[in-house]
């Protein structure tokens, strides 16, 4: 090889390394900038001060330990849902029934909390968490079975199961589980034994730690075990996985169970810590937002962790933007949505162009 | 003979093109004389397409100059090139399937009565005239998606002619064609040059190159190895120039020493995806130390046969045994355990995962076994070590353990699959279309591996629609037609005409009958 050719190869390589970094970080950053610019236009149209509004947003999410705590508490359920969906999406199983699995997990956990208030705390908490996991798991596996047996698209079935689960919880909160003598659609408050312990003298609870541990668990599952390898094979091309002796059906069931389980866990943790009772509306859309978190995090556990924090910050921040700078709540929500949408859109465009 | 004194219509001088990590063209010179068919020959990745994309204005050269009919040009887009009378038919067609042939041909062409479209009748008439003039027969009104690959290619050529192309670039036009379609295409090319067109023809298939071209420019690793009139060289010369060493075009092999039967199919019936019988009472037996070739025209049950043995397709009736295990209802995993390895005909739908690394692709089936997994955890160090060993042993070029399989050339991807399947220490190997789309040196490698494995005692079922390949490798040949075996002959005394007849469905006037009469 000539000197020239070797040089061409060398420069070529550094070039491509820089390019790889740019490819990973560039599009989401550009997307976010575009989103914030559009958001600024919306703020101007509403007659508010852009700088003030965005400062309020930043302060609201990260301005102090109380704000950071709020952000972390919002991030935890998003992270759990995002991690569960990461595993499913890696196998190209499109579980978009997170909301329903979240509700069912919460419901089963709540039934246990309400019926066995005098169990010792470690037992009660473990059974509650287990109940939440199993609830979400079975709810998701139902869609998995329908896909395997009858070829029903999991996108449709999981979406439909969302409505069933949400309405079921609303009925329970208004009916059988309603607080005796109460008027609101909610259950009695859980006994203190049914609430996860708080840590570091703050509102941070054990569920947050659990979620962080699960980042490592999911990472290990996907890249350090033969099971994860096979799931990724199914996601990469199921015809090849089948050729190589992987049972695509079992893989579908597994990822449905795994994602449903994590999301059910998120559900029971949320009612056990934040709400301390079952309500008609418990989620605030975690099951849907988790889909975005998983995608924004590029279906990588660390990426999902970062995405869940940023997403939570956006939610908390836009609330305080509404409170401080007097923007209407709906506009704050719209800005939030515009930012997420721009990030996803630029990211998708960039990917398409790479192909 | 050509008048070499003529000024070339195309002159490319000192063309250099670098891509990250490769020099695709290193100071390439290329000439095209008026009215000639000039072939650019080279293995995959030699830089043929890149050179032509530079000529056609799709890539900018890093260095070098291009003259068209003597005048220096620098195209910044294909539009410029088209305006100068060039036309290119790409390796992958650029047609809009739901549109008609005529719509595809006028797509992107300015209309002469804007803002209205040109009169369709007029367009159809013009296309028909062109069609007849050059023997490119195709109905302008039919939807492109309904045409065969060969007909679609005609549309691509017509498209360039309609735009007034005088210089045609055909990038591997025969790669996608059946042998019959190739035989139809070559005379059309001669007809085009008789009408004054000049053609750049790209290929790595030696036979057709010798048949069709006036001159041949051979590229290797981005450099011109030689330019020669086709009449001065033979296949072996060209292969040597292309690959850089002597190439064995037909593997030498000793007579087989077959032993016990390892794979048996007894009266096997299988349905196709559409629910029609695809295998009708198939009986075959493959013994240790022999290659049984399945000859046949594509679509006569070959892929169903392959999938059935591999455990990927349900058997309706009959029995399959692999090394004395009944595998009639086994899963792919089980047949693997009983000793079957499988080089699939569809490399990309079955054989490899493009976004997985070469190392990952090497152990798709055995990832959960020791040494790749220890105490339930993947041992990446062992995986990479073992993979590197296979990359070296099978000479998978351009691959590190971390390279995504998508970036391997066809030949190296096939070597990777072969490495994986043979490293499983199989008792029986299905090799389906093992050299489809490969260039000569890769074909040579795959063929010699198969014979070597046969000699080591492997039972090999070779399924191929290339009759040459079947004849070169098989010890016995079974001819399949509409899901039935029409006859099985010893390769040693195989009569090609008989095989040809059986491939089209006639039962042989077989040896026994002849013998007893
Ligand atoms: N757009 C591109 N970007 C990077 N590398 C390329 C690109 N196109 C071709 N190459 C590389 O340039 C070399 C020559 O490719 P090509 O001209 O397509 O070869 P051929 O047509 O002879 O098979 C190969 O190593 C190929 O990987
Ligand atoms: Mg090419």
- In this structure, of A96-105, B150-159, B173-182, B295-304, the range with the lowest mean pLDDT score is B173-182
Yes or no, beta carbons of A239 and B350 under 8 Å apart: yes
Contact (Cβ atoms closer than 8 angstroms) between residue B58 and residue B78: yes
Instruction: Indicate whether B100 and B217 sit together in one domain.
Output: yes
**Phi, psi for B264 (deg, rounded to 5):** -130, 130
The total of structural domains in chain B comes to 2
Q: Which residues surround ligand 2, an ion (CB under 5 A)?
A: B 49
Contact (Cβ atoms closer than 8 angstroms) between residue B353 and residue A243: no
Ligand 1 in reach of B406 Cβ (< 6 A) = no
| Distances, alpha carbon B215 to alpha carbons B89, B226, B383, in Å | 20, 11, 48
Q: Touching check for B332 and chain A: CB below 8 Å?
A: yes
**Could you give the ipTM of this predicted complex?**
0.82
Instruction: Indicate whether B320 and B437 sit together in one domain.
Output: yes
- Asked if omega into B299 is within 30° of 0 (cis), the reply is no
pLDDT digits (tens, 9 = 90+) for A40-50: 898 888 887 88
Q: State both tokens at B145.
A: 């998606």
> Domain for residue B347, yes or no?
no
pLDDT digits (tens, 9 = 90+) for A109-166: 999 999 998 999 899 999 999 999 999 999 999 999 999 999 999 999 999 999 999 9
Task: Give B350's contacts in chain A (Cβ within 8 Å).
Answer: 239-240, 243
**Phi, psi for B99 (deg, rounded to 5):** -85, 160
> Domain for residue B277, yes or no?
yes
Q: Touching check for B336 and chain A: CB below 8 Å?
A: yes
Q: How far apart are CA B517 and CA B507, in angstroms?
A: 17
pLDDT digits (tens, 9 = 90+) for B127-164: 999 888 888 888 888 888 888 878 888 999 999 999 88
Instruction: Indicate whether B193 and B313 sit together in one domain.
Output: no
Buried b (16+ CB within 10 A) or exposed e, A139-163: bbbbbbebbbeeeeebeebbbebbe
Q: State both tokens at B511.
A: 């040896």
- pLDDT, position A7: 41
**Phi, psi for B30 (deg, rounded to 5):** -155, 135
* Chain mean position to CA B323: 33
- The β-bridge relationship of strands B10-19 and B63-68 is antiparallel
Q: How far apart are CA A272 and CA A111, in angstroms?
A: 12
Contact (Cβ atoms closer than 8 angstroms) between residue B463 and residue B294: yes
Instruction: Indicate whether B152 and B270 sit together in one domain.
Output: no
What lies within 8 Å, CB to CB, of B150 at 6+ separation is B177, B178, B181, B184, B185
> Domain for residue B406, yes or no?
no
**Site of tokens 């908490």:** A125
Instruction: Indicate whether B103 and B231 sit together in one domain.
Output: yes
> Domain for residue B395, yes or no?
no
- Could you tell me what percent of chain B has a pLDDT over 90? 59
Buried b (16+ CB within 10 A) or exposed e, B371-400: ebbeeeebbeeebbebbbebbeebebeebe
Instruction: Indicate whether B113 and B233 sit together in one domain.
Output: yes
Q: How far apart are CA B498 and CA B487, in angstroms?
A: 10
Instruction: Indicate whether B119 and B18 sit together in one domain.
Output: yes
Instruction: Tell me, in angstroms, the distance from the centre of ligand 1 to residue B49's CA.
Output: 7
Instruction: Indicate whether B55 and B143 sit together in one domain.
Output: yes
Instruction: Indicate whether B94 and B173 sit together in one domain.
Output: yes
Q: Domain boundary residue among B243, B269, B296? A: B243
- pLDDT, position A158: 94
Q: How far apart are CA B209 and CA B214, in angstroms?
A: 9
Q: In Å, how far is A66's CA from the nearest CA of chain B?
A: 41
pLDDT at B113 over 80: no
Q: How far apart are CA A85 and CA A140, in angstroms?
A: 11
Q: Which of A185, A180, A209 is nearest to A273 (CA)?
A: A209
Q: State both tokens at B19.
A: 């891509």
> Domain holding B122: CATH number?
3.40.50.300
Q: Domain boundary residue among B221, B243, B265? A: B243
> Domain for residue B54, yes or no?
yes
Instruction: Starting from the CA of residue B59, give the closest ligand.
Output: 1
- Sketch the domain layout of chain A as residue ranges: 65-326
Q: Record the pTM.
A: 0.78
> Domain for residue B379, yes or no?
no
Q: In Å, how far is B372's CA from the nearest CA of chain A?
A: 9
Contact (Cβ atoms closer than 8 angstroms) between residue B498 and residue B508: yes
* Chain mean position to CA B348: 13
DSSP structure class, residue A274 = I
Yes or no, beta carbons of A245 and B333 under 8 Å apart: yes
Q: State both tokens at B185.
A: 């295409």
Instruction: Tell me, in angstroms, the distance from the centre of ligand 1 to residue B360's CA.
Output: 24
pLDDT digits (tens, 9 = 90+) for B232-264: 999 888 988 988 887 777 778 888 899 999 999
Mean pLDDT, to the nearest integer, of B274-280? 92
Predicted confidence band at B177 (pLDDT cuts at 50, 70, 90)? confident
Q: Touching check for B367 and chain A: CB below 8 Å?
A: yes
Predicted confidence band at B5 (pLDDT cuts at 50, 70, 90)? low
- pLDDT, position B2: 47
Q: How far apart are CA A148 and CA A163, in angstroms?
A: 22
Q: Domain boundary residue among B186, B208, B243? A: B243
> Domain for residue B412, yes or no?
no
pLDDT mean values, one per 10 residues, chain A (355 residues): 39 50 75 89 84 86 89 95 96 94 95 91 93 96 95 93 93 87 84 85 88 96 95 95 95 97 96 87 86 90 92 88 80 84 86 68
Instruction: Indicate whether B237 and B258 sit together in one domain.
Output: no
Instruction: Indicate whether B252 and B239 sit together in one domain.
Output: no
Q: Which domain range does residue B287 map to?
A: 248-339+426-517
Query: Check: CATH 1.10.10 for A65-326?
Result: no
Residue B119 burial (CB count, 10 A): 12
- Would you say the C-alpha torsion A220, A290, A213, A195 has a positive or negative sign? negative
Q: Which of B140, B147, B184, B183 is nearest to B161 (CA)?
A: B140
Q: State both tokens at A319.
A: 């609330």
pLDDT digits (tens, 9 = 90+) for B466-492: 888 999 999 999 999 999 999 999 988
Mean pLDDT, to the nearest integer, of B160-171? 92
**Phi, psi for B39 (deg, rounded to 5):** -90, 140
Ligand 1 in reach of B411 Cβ (< 6 A) = no
- pLDDT, position B371: 93
Contact (Cβ atoms closer than 8 angstroms) between residue B414 and residue B432: no
> Domain for residue B5, yes or no?
no
């Amino acid at each position: 090889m000539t000197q020239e050719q070797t040089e061409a190869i060398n420069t070529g390589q550094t070039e491509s390394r820089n390019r790889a970094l740019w490819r990973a970080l560039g599009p989401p950053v550009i997307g976010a900038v575009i989103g914030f610019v559009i958001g600024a236009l919306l703020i101007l149209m509403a007659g508010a001060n852009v700088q003030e509004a965005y400062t309020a947003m930043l302060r609201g999410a990260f301005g102090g330990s109380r704000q950071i705590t709020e952000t972390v508490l919002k991030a935890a359920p998003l992270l759990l849902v995002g991690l569960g969906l990461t595993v499913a999406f890696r196998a190209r199983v499109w579980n978009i029934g997170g909301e329903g699995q979240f509700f069912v997990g919460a419901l089963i956990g709540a039934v246990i909390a309400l019926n066995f208030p005098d169990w010792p705390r470690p037992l009660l908490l473990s059974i509650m968490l287990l109940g939440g996991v199993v609830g979400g798991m079975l709810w998701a596996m139902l869609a998995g079975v329908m896909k395997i047996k009858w070829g029903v698209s999991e996108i449709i079935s999981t979406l439909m199961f969302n409505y069933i689960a949400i309405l079921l919880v609303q009925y329970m909160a208004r009916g059988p589980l309603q607080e005796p003598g109460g008027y609101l659609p909610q259950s009695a408050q859980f006994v203190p034994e049914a609430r996860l312990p708080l840590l570091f003298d703050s509102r941070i609870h054990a569920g947050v730690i659990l979620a962080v541990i699960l980042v490592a668990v999911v990472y290990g599952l996907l890249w350090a075990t033969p099971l994860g390898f096979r799931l990724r094979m199914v996601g990469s091309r199921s015809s090849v996985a089948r050729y190589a002796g992987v049972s695509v059906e079992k893989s579908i069931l597994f990822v449905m169970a795994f994602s449903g389980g994590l999301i059910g866990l998120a559900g029971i943790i949320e009612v056990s810590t934040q709400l301390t009772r079952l309500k008609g509306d418990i989620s605030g859309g975690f099951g849907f937002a988790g889909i975005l978190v998983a995608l924004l995090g590029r279906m990588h556990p660390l990426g999902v962790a970062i995405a869940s924090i940023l997403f939570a910050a956006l939610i908390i921040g836009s609330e305080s933007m509404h409170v401080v700078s007097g923007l209407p709540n709906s506009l704050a929500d719209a800005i939030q949505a515009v930012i997420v949408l721009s990030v996803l859109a630029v990211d998708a465009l960039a990917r398409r162009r790479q192909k | 003979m050509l008048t070499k004194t003529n000024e070339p219509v195309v002159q490319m001088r000192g063309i250099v093109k670098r891509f990250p990590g490769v020099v695709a063209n290193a100071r390439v010179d290329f000439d095209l004389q008026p009215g000639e068919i000039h072939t650019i020959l080279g293995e995959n990745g030699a830089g043929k397409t890149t050179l032509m994309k530079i000529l056609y204005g799709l890539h900018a050269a890093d260095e070098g100059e291009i003259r068209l009919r003597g005048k220096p040009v620098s195209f910044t887009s294909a539009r410029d090139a088209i305006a100068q009378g060039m036309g290119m038919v790409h390796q992958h067609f650029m047609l809009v399937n739901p549109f008609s042939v005529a719509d595809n041909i006028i797509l992107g062409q300015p209309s002469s009565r804007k803002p209205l479209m040109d009169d369709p009748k007029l367009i159809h008439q013009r296309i028909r005239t062109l069609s007849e003039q050059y023997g490119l027969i195709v109905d302008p009104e039919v939807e492109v998606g309904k045409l065969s690959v060969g007909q679609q290619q005609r549309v691509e050529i017509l498209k360039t002619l309609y735009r007034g192309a005088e210089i045609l670039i055909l990038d591997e036009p025969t790669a996608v064609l059946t042998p019959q379609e190739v035989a139809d295409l070559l005379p059309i090319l001669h007809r085009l040059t008789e009408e004054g067109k000049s053609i750049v023809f790209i290929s790595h298939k030696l036979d057709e190159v010798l048949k069709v071209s006036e001159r041949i420019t051979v590229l290797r690793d981005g450099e011109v190895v030689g330019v020669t009139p086709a009449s001065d060289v033979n296949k072996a010369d060209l292969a040597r120039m292309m690959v850089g060493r002597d190439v064995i075009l037909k593997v030498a092999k000793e007579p087989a020493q077959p032993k016990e039967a390892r794979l048996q199919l007894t009266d096997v019936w299988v349905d196709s995806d559409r629910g029609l019988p695809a295998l009708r009472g198939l009986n075959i037996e493959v013994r240790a130390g022999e290659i049984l070739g399945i000859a046949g025209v594509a679509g006569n049950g070959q892929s169903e046969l392959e999938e059935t043995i591999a455990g990927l397709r349900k058997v309706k009736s009959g029995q399959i045994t692999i090394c004395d295990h009944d595998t009639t209802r086994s899963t792919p995993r089980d047949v693997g355990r009983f000793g079957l390895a499988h080089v699939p005909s569809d490399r990309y739908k079955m054989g490899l995962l493009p976004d997985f690394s070469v190392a990952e692709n090497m152990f798709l089936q055995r990832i959960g076994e020791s040494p790749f997994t220890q105490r339930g955890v993947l041992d990446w160090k062992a995986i990479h070590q073992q993979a590197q060993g296979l990359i070296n042993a099978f000479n998978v070029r351009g691959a590190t353990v971390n390279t995504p399989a998508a970036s391997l050339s066809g030949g190296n991807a096939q070597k990777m699959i072969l490495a994986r399947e043979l490293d499983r220490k199989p008792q029986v190997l299905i090799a389906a279309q093992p050299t489809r789309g490969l260039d000569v040196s890769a074909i040579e490698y795959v063929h010699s591996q198969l014979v070597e494995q046969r000699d080591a005692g492997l039972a090999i079922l070779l399924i191929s629609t290339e009759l040459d390949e079947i004849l070169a490798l098989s010890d016995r040949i079974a001819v399949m037609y509409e899901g039935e075996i029409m006859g099985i002959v010893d390769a040693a005394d195989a009569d090609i005409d008989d095989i040809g007849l059986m491939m089209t469905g006639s039962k042989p006037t077989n040896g026994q009958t002849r013998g007893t009469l």
